[in-house]
């Protein structure tokens, strides 16, 4: 997969050099190119923003530097090099454009899975009050554009949201996470416990701070462990995310599950 990120704070994206992502890049599973929007800002002050039409607080990003930056990034489509997915190397191949914005559609695990199937993604990181709306309109004439929000809180710009989206997407790529089971088994992913939060986890020592690891986890009865984990997941989800319980498919809960939920009014 090829990722291009356009930002006025390229250093912010240094996080992509480390950990899982850094290793995936070293192994050629992923190519990341970070671009400074200001390289396409013209004029004596290389300004990328201006006052909003109609008044109001803050500044709006001007469309011209963004259009020039996008055109330049699209024109490099052939430069991904060895290891890139074939579609990313095809001259004229089109990336999907992701624009993080608080007014976007909610980014979910399903969105992550969709984006993970793409060979080439371009992220446009806005700052200030956002990018002139005509930029996305024009881009959408030749590209698939997704305006996405990572949640209902306020960020100062799209960079942190881009890091979140990139991590959620790239860990789904084949070979990026060592243990394939852990990708499908966690909260929100299809797999073990569809639509439920993960319950508590434990490691050694068996006694710590006057607390014991639950005996069922140490007894070696795998069916009992599975039942206990299911019950913990149900209780925790009911307590912390009742919206997820309400969304479960009608067939998702067994009679045993319903009994566990009925007795789960305690905090947890
Ligand atoms: C996001 C202007 O750029 C911004 C500002 C806030 C913001 C984003 C982009 S993306 N908040 C979110 O997903 O919550």
Tell how far the Cα of 118 is from the centroid of ligand 1, in angstroms: 23
Q: Say if 175 falls within a structural domain.
A: no
Check whether residue 75 and residue 115 sit in a common domain: yes
How far is it, in rounded angstroms, from Cα 33 to Cα 261? 48
Residue 192 belongs to domain with CATH number: 1.10.1270.20
Q: Dihedral of CA 47/50/139/98: which sign?
A: positive
> For residue 104, which atom of ligand 1 is closest to its CA?
13
Tell how far the Cα of 132 is from the centroid of ligand 1, in angstroms: 14
pLDDT at 81: 57
Q: Which residues of the chain have pLDDT under 50?
A: 190-191
Check whether residue 23 and residue 119 sit in a common domain: yes
SS3 percent helix, strand, coil of the chain, rounded to 5, is: 45, 15, 40
Is the CB–ligand 1 distance for residue 191 below 6 Å? no
Is the CB–ligand 1 distance for residue 65 below 6 Å? no
Tell how far the Cα of 139 is from the centroid of ligand 1, in angstroms: 19
Q: Say if 180 falls within a structural domain.
A: no
pLDDT at 188: 64
Q: Tell me the pLDDT tens digit for each residue of 152-197.
A: 999 999 999 999 999 999 999 999 987 555 665 566 654 468 999 9
Q: In a mutational test of the pocket of ligand 1, which residue from 61, 124, 126 has the highest number of ligand atoms less than 8 Å from its CB? A: 126
pTM tops 0.85: yes
pLDDT at 230: 98
Check whether residue 163 and residue 194 sit in a common domain: no
Is the CB–ligand 1 distance for residue 111 below 6 Å? no
DSSP reduced 3-state for 145: strand
Check whether residue 189 and residue 165 sit in a common domain: no
- 116 contacts 173 by C-beta, under 8 angstroms: yes
Q: What is the CA radius of gyration of the chain?
A: 23
Please provide residue 226's backbone torsions phi and psi, each rounded to the nearest 5 degrees: -60, -45
Is the CB–ligand 1 distance for residue 127 below 6 Å? yes
pLDDT at 2: 94
Cis amide bond preceding 138, omega within 30: no
Q: Say if 266 falls within a structural domain.
A: no
Residues with active-site annotation:
102, 129, 171, 186
- 6 contacts 122 by C-beta, under 8 angstroms: yes
- Write out the two tokens for 132: 């002139």
Q: Say if 104 falls within a structural domain.
A: yes
**Could you give the number of structural domains in the chain?**
2
pLDDT at 178: 74
Domain's final residue, options 111, 142, 170: 170
Tell how far the Cα of 101 is from the centroid of ligand 1, in angstroms: 4
DSSP reduced 3-state for 240: helix
DSSP reduced 3-state for 22: helix
Tell how far the Cα of 8 is from the centroid of ligand 1, in angstroms: 14
Check whether residue 200 and residue 250 sit in a common domain: yes
In eight-state DSSP terms, residue 47 is -
Is the CB–ligand 1 distance for residue 99 below 6 Å? no
pLDDT at 84: 59
Q: Say if 147 falls within a structural domain.
A: yes
Check whether residue 124 and residue 42 sit in a common domain: yes
Closest residue by Cα to atom 5, ligand 1, is: 157
Check whether residue 191 and residue 62 sit in a common domain: no
Check whether residue 157 and residue 224 sit in a common domain: no
Contacts of 94 (CB under 8 A, 6+ apart): 74, 77, 120, 142, 143, 144
Check whether residue 242 and residue 112 sit in a common domain: no
Check whether residue 189 and residue 137 sit in a common domain: no
Residue 12, Cα to own-chain centre: how many angstroms? 16
Show the domain range for 152: 2-170
How far is it, in rounded angstroms, from Cα 246 to Cα 150? 22
Q: Say if 237 falls within a structural domain.
A: yes
CA dihedral of 179, 185, 188, 190, whole degrees rounded to 10: 100
pLDDT at 22: 87
Check whether residue 194 and residue 249 sit in a common domain: yes
Q: Say if 252 falls within a structural domain.
A: yes
Check whether residue 121 and residue 219 sit in a common domain: no
Is the CB–ligand 1 distance for residue 164 below 6 Å? no
């Amino acid at each position: 997969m090829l990722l291009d990120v356009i930002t006025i704070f390229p250093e912010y994206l240094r996080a992509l050099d480390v950990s899982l992502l850094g290793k995936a890049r070293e192994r050629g599973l992923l190519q990341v190119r970070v671009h400074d929007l200001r390289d396409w800002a013209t004029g004596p002050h290389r300004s990328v923003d201006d006052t909003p039409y109609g008044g109001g607080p803050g500044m709006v990003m001007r469309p011209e530097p963004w259009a020039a930056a996008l055109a330049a990034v699209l024109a490099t489509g052939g430069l991904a090099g060895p290891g890139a997915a074939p579609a990313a190397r095809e001259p004229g191949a089109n990336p999907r454009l992701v624009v993080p914005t608080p007014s976007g559609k909610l980014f979910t695990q399903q969105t992550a899975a969709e984006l993970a199937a793409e060979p080439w993604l371009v992220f446009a990181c806005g700052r200030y009050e956002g990018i002139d709306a005509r930029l996305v309109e024009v881009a959408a004439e030749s590209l698939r554009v997704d305006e996405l929000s990572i949640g209902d809180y306020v960020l100062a710009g799209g960079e942190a949201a881009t890091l979140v989206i990139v991590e959620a997407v790239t860990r789904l790529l084949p070979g990026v996470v060592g243990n394939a089971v852990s990708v499908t088994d966690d909260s929100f992913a299809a797999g073990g416990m569809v639509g439920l939060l993960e319950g508590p986890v434990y490691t050694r020592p068996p006694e710590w701070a006057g607390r014991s690891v639950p005996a069922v986890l140490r007894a070696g009865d795998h069916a009992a462990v599975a039942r206990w984990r299911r019950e913990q997941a149900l209780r925790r989800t009911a307590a912390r995310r009742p919206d997820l319980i309400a969304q479960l498919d009608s067939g998702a809960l067994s009679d045993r599950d319903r009994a566990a939920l009925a007795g789960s009014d305690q905090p947890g």
